[in-house]
Amino acid sequence: MEKFDCNRRVVITGLSMITPLGNDAETSWNNMIKGVSGIGMITRFDASNYATKIAGEVKGFDPEKFIDKKDVKKMDQFIHYAAACAKMALSDSGFKINDSNAHRVGVWIGAGIGGLMTIEKYHTLLLESGPKKISPFFIPMLLINLASGQVSIMAGAKGPNASTVSACSTGTNSIGDAYKVIARGDADVMIAGGTESTITPLCISGFNAMKALSTRNDEPAKASRPFDKDRDGFVVSEGAGIVILEDLQSAVNRGTKIYAEVTGYGLSSDAYHISTPDPGADGAYYSMKNALDDARILPEDVDYINAHGTSTYYNDINETRGIKRLFKEHSKKVMVSSIKSMVGHALGAAGGIEAVAATLSVYTGIIPPTINFNEPDKECDLDYVPNVMRKTNVRYAISNSFGFGGTNATLVLKKWEKE
C-alpha cells in the first residue's frame, strides 16, 4: 500500500457488539429488530436506596471464553468487553494478523469513563485494609487506553494504537478517527469502537445527582423512551461495539464480505454548556453537515439516521431541531430511530454499538425501531420508526453521537455495491 495515498476508501469487513440484548452481534441484532428491551432491575449492587434502580446490564457474559483465565483478573470489565468484541469482530472479518502485516494493523478503542468499577473496589479496599492490599495491576486495569493496549497485545496488532475519550461521542469518534488513519495511509486495517462498564453505585449516584436518569423503576422495559412525551431521563447501560475497518483494495483482494463503506466523518462542538446541548442545535447541525460534506453527499441522499436519542428532554428536542435544520423538507422523509430505547445508554460504548447497528441496517435493509414511542413530544415530529422495525433499502445512513462538554460526532455509512 502507498503510505501517502490520502484518498483511500475504507470499508467495514467485520463487526461485533456486546449489549444488554446479547453477547454477540447476531443475538443483539435479532433482539433489537424485534423490539426487545434489555433494561431491568440493577443486580450488580443493592440499589434499593437509590432514586434509580434500573439499568441495562450485560447478562451471562464469561470473559474466560475470550481471555486467558490468568489475565482476566488483570483487567476491568470494560476491557473484557473490548477484548471479547475485538476477537469476535476479527473472526467475523476473516482477517489474519501475521508478521508480514502486523505493523499495518492498528487499534483505536475508547471509553467515556473507563475503570470506575476497579476504582470503587480498590478505594474501598484501601480504606478497609491499607495500601499493601492494592494490586500492581490496579492502574493498568482502570486506564482507558488499556482497552486498545490489551487488544493490541492479544491480537498482535503493531500499527497505530490510541484511544479517544469524548464522553458519549467516544465510540463514534474512535471509529471516525480510525477511518481517517486508513484513509490517509497510516494503516491498512483498524480495530475500532467503544466500550464501557460503569453500572456502579458511584455512577448511578452521580447521574442521579444531575437528575439525568429515568426513575421509572416500576416499568424498567418502558423506561427508555426517546422522543416520547413521557420520557424522564436516560437509562445507564454497558457493553461494547467494535468494527474492523479495512482499506478497500485489501478487502477486495481478500474476497471478503463488505458490510458497508465509511464515506464521511464530521465533528463539532456546542461551546455552550457542560451537559445541556445548545438550544439552537448548532452542534448537531454542524456535526451532521460536516459529515455529509466529508462524504460529498446531499442531505436528501440519506435514508436513515441512527439517532443519539438518549430519552432526555433537551437532547431529543435538539437532535430533532438539528435534523430539521439540515435536512429541511427531506426531514419528513428520512427515517430516524434510537436503539437506546432497547439497549439504554452505554456512554462511551454507545457510538460503537450504534455504528454496528447502523452498519447492519445498511447491510440488511432493516431499520430497528424506537420502542416505547407512544405519544410524541410536540417538538419531536419526525419519522422515528415507532415500535416496529421496518424493511427498506438503505443506501446512505448516518450515526450520531453527542456528549457532555458539547462534543459531537457523526459517521456516514454507504451501502456497498460491487464495482
Helix (H, G, I), strand (E, B) or coil at 269: strand
- CA gap 358, 394 in Å, rounded: 10
Task: Specify the DSSP class assigned to residue 327.
Answer: H
Task: Specify the DSSP class assigned to residue 314.
Answer: H
DSSP string across 89-123:
HHHHHT----TTTGGGEEEEEE-SS--HHHHHHHH
What are the grid coordinates assigned to 72, written together?
Answer: 482476566
Residue tagged active-site, from 80, 203, 308, 380 = 308
Active site residue 330: no
Rg (CA), the chain: 20
DSSP string across 132-194:
GGS-TTHHHHH-THHHHHHHHHHHT--S-EE----GGGHHHHHHHHHHHHHHTTS-SEEEEEE
Please, which residues have CB within 8 angstroms of residue 215's CB and are 6 or more apart in sequence? 51, 52, 232, 233
Helix (H, G, I), strand (E, B) or coil at 310: coil
First-residue to last-residue Cα distance in the chain:
20
Active site residue 308: yes
Q: CB–CB of 39/235 below 8 Å?
A: yes
Residue tagged active-site, from 168, 273, 330, 380 = 168
Residue tagged active-site, from 80, 85, 203, 345 = 345
Cα 37–Cα 302–Cα 263 angle in degrees, nearest 5: 95
Active site residues: 168, 308, 345
